[in-house]
Structure 1
């Protein structure tokens, strides 16, 4: 088994970024989901309600410098900004978690508000997130609930074999780490894995919602309601939810962050 793909998403619900290597820290991949779009009262805005966000690209241009652009509409222009650790702190909410984040710039807020169609602000979690989740006893980025998400190429192939169109891409599921060389759904039996020099614990399988029906290439929801409709048939667990992929935390990072690379060997250390 090998690490086939690495993805990060600097802005929550924004366009993904394929990487050849990535640094793994306590809060996930470095620069993954460090920015969040928030609306009134600091509540987060995602592609669940605004699927077009998946066509908005936020990319690092150098240490602390970022560029925000629309992938399909160059006429929208672009916004560049630098993060400031001393910027105004705002109260925000991601799901049930309430914490603080840093403002970015009035220009970025105005540009995003125009794309989204309502007043929003872009906020940055800072070098260290103030969001803490008791369930895993550690800080977390603006990801839905866990630092990292793993998916298996063979499981996607098995899901596609069950769907009417069989054309779903892994990018619909927005994982960080994609494994090749395993059997379909083998990850259901894994407890700890080693990828390159990093050991990970599979905390829980990932429950899925209608966001997986968004086509990242267009920023539109699919009319056929796939693959959620097929997941509801073949991957509904005892909790009544549908599942695809696994939430991870990295272990043994006491001595600092570690880098993983596409092509790294994957070893199952313990099973469920």
Structure 2
């Protein structure tokens, strides 16, 4: 087994950026989900409610700022956030630092409602929710419930086969393969058996060891086409037919780094412990 892909999401809910190498911090990939968009009440304006967030490409800049592009809007370079600290509605985190007013206006126009861009100045301030497998002292960025998400290429290929078979049974035209981007992974493994990752409890990628904190339950975000930003029925419809228990559908596993380090595409992936 080896590491096929690495994806960083500089801005929560925006599209990802594929990279060949990444630095692992205790809270996740360096540069991953340190920025987020919130409403006036501090709540996360998340992708499931605002699919147009997927139209945004965000890239980290060397000086600590952010480059933003989206169809129909001017390219924007956001300087490092130095605004006020405001309340935010993220589990395990009470406040974040605002970007400048130009960035707020850019996102307000994109989403058609008041919005603000915020920066998580210190990810060590946000703990992982114990309800999602967090242990004392474990921390996370603006990512949902764990520092990293791992998915398997073979698991997606099997899912694609089942989606196509279901379409044929319904007399529909089989769709093409789903983009892994729908599942928003940080790391993608190649060479595992389909859904083998379900049984891992610890894994090493290159020289970095990770704890599997939990399986990943999937929401309506996976039904948004990353190219058109339109919601459909798949893959949730098919996942619910064979990957549903405890009232949820499941795909991928969440990782917590045991130590900092570096990973690269092509690194071996070795399960260290299994259930």
* Alignment partner, residue 209 of structure 2: 199
Write out aligned runs for 1:88-237 (5 A): 88-94=84-90, 96-135=91-130, 136=134, 137=136, 138-163=138-163, 164=167, 165-222=175-232, 225-237=233-245
Shift of 1:128: 3.3
Larger mean CA deviation between 225-234 and 163-172 belongs to 163-172
Asked if 2 retains the 8 angstrom alpha-carbon contact of 1:44 and 1:92, the reply is: yes
Deviations 1:190-212, CA, capped at 9 Å, x for gaps? 11111101001111100011110
Report the Cα distance in structure 1 between the residues aligned to 2:50 and 2:139, rounded to whole angstroms.
27
Asked if 1 retains the 8 angstrom alpha-carbon contact of 2:35 and 2:119, the reply is: yes
SS of equivalent residue, structure 1 residue 247: strand
* Alignment partner, residue 80 of structure 2: 83
Q: 1:22 to 1:127 in 2, by over 3 A?
A: same
Do structure 1's residue 23 and structure 2's residue 26 form an aligned pair? Answer: no
Asked if 2 retains the 8 angstrom alpha-carbon contact of 1:68 and 1:80, the reply is: yes
Write out aligned runs for 1:247-262 (5 A): 247-251=254-258, 253=259, 257-262=260-265
Q: 1:185 to 1:128 in 2, by over 3 A?
A: closer
Deviations 1:82-124, CA, capped at 9 Å, x for gaps? 214x531011012x44411100110000011000010000000
Larger mean CA deviation between 114-123 and 140-149 belongs to 140-149
- Unmatched 5+ stretches in structure 2: 168-174
SS of equivalent residue, structure 1 residue 226: coil
Shift of 1:133: 2.6
CA RMSD of aligned residues (A): 1.3
Shift of 1:63: 2.6
Asked if 1 retains the 8 angstrom alpha-carbon contact of 2:202 and 2:212, the reply is: yes
Asked if 2 retains the 8 angstrom alpha-carbon contact of 1:32 and 1:141, the reply is: yes
* Alignment partner, residue 11 of structure 1: 11
Give the total of aligned pairs. 260
Report the Cα distance in structure 1 between the residues aligned to 2:217 and 2:10, rounded to whole angstroms.
22
Do structure 1's residue 244 and structure 2's residue 255 form an aligned pair? Answer: no
* Alignment partner, residue 47 of structure 1: 47
Report the Cα distance in structure 2 between the residues aligned to 1:27 and 1:87, rounded to whole angstroms.
23
Tell me the TM-score normalized by structure 1. Answer: 0.92
Tell me the TM-score normalized by structure 2. Answer: 0.91
Report the Cα distance in structure 2 between the residues aligned to 1:134 and 1:203, rounded to whole angstroms.
11
Q: Which consecutive segments of 4 or more residues in structure 1 shift more than 3 A?
A: none
SS of equivalent residue, structure 1 residue 133: coil
Shift of 1:221: 1.3
1:266 to 257, 269, 273: 269
